[in-house]
Amino acid sequence: MLISMESEFPGARGYLNTASMGLPPGVAADELRAAIDSWQSGTATSPGYDVFIDEARASFAKLVNVPPDLVAVGSQVSALVGMVAAGLPPHSKVVCPEEEFTSVIFPFLARDDLNVDLVPLKDLEASIRPDTDLVAFSLVQSADGRVTDGKAIARLAESAGAMTLVDATQAAGWLPFDAGDYDVTVTGTYKWLVSPRGTAFMTVRPESIDLPALLYPGWYAGESPWESVYGPPLRLARDARRFDLSPGWLAWVGTAAALRFIGSLGVEEIHGHNVALANEFRGRLGVSASDSAIVSLDVPSTANENLLGELSTSVRAGRLRVAFHLYNQLEDVDLLARALGLSS
């Protein structure tokens, strides 16, 4: 059953680019505007933003099925991955898909004392061996929307004694998954979690909390952040908050509201809606159904460039990429099919 969200997303018609940037629900935009007004009027306070960060942390934890004390907050995925990369011992072997988004692989490649093995995604499982120390990959591939069998990879990694780091940026918000299946997950919120850019999450298994190095141990990573703003000793939080990065306050106001909205609908229902629309479009293309909300294709010769230009899409890896989210409807499939010259 499709979700009807026209009143909450009045400008979403023809918007098929959530894999690049999601659209905020009305409630998130309204609360963000109110927060800006409060900031401008001088009534906002620094500690007052903590309520939004706490709410967002708890909402995200519920979405990915882990306790809030296993969730750290940050601003972008690469910084969170960077902390994991910094914590690996020299000469550790890291296995990643060669098609991977670079925010996942650059932090490892930047260390010249790590052995980074880049392999085709289809060969990732077979590339996990007893000498592997960490497997890093995206749950949903950014360029073409392939959904990875994360649980199978996690089982193989565990058998090999390796950690797993999963980027859930293209998954969280529409694809149900358990973050606890992996040692570390990282998620940017500005796509499928329909939040402002500038907020991100990391989940860390309890046994991985004490990574041997922390790249950014700032004041907000303290056990009591407002009591750890000056002087020694080092007093980091005992849970995953020790990985917290100092928050961009206004962005967290929008994220708290956006995640509250996503949670009210439920990821399972959003998944059914998104995949139904994507598969409807795949049917127009004459290709098999899939479990992904992202469709990647070569633009057919029948395409009307003017009509296609009126839609919001993207090009990745030389192919057209379209993404269906909770604010899309069958009308968007019709518009896209017409722009590509496909039969109805």
Q: What is the mean pLDDT of each run of 10 residues along the chain (344 residues)?
A: 79 94 96 97 96 98 98 96 92 97 96 97 97 98 96 97 97 98 98 98 86 74 91 91 95 98 97 98 95 96 92 94 97 96 78
- φ, ψ of residue 176 in degrees (nearest 5): -65, 135
Residue 190: per-residue pLDDT: 98
Hey, what are 54's tokens? 């706490």
- Report pTM: 0.95
Alpha helices by DSSP H, the chain = 26-41, 50-64, 77-87, 102-109, 150-160, 249-265, 267-285, 305-309, 330-339
Hey, what are 183's tokens? 């040692």
Q: Cα–Cα distances in Å, from 330 out to 3, 13, 325, 336?
A: 11, 10, 11, 10
Residue 211: per-residue pLDDT: 65
The SS3 assignment for 192 reads: coil
Hey, what are 132's tokens? 């592997």
Residue 126: per-residue pLDDT: 97
Distance CA 107, CA 111 (A): 7
Residue 72: closest CA among 231, 288, 216: 216
Residue 4: per-residue pLDDT: 77
Core vs surface per residue 114-129: b (16+ CB within 10 A) or e: bebeebebeebbebbe
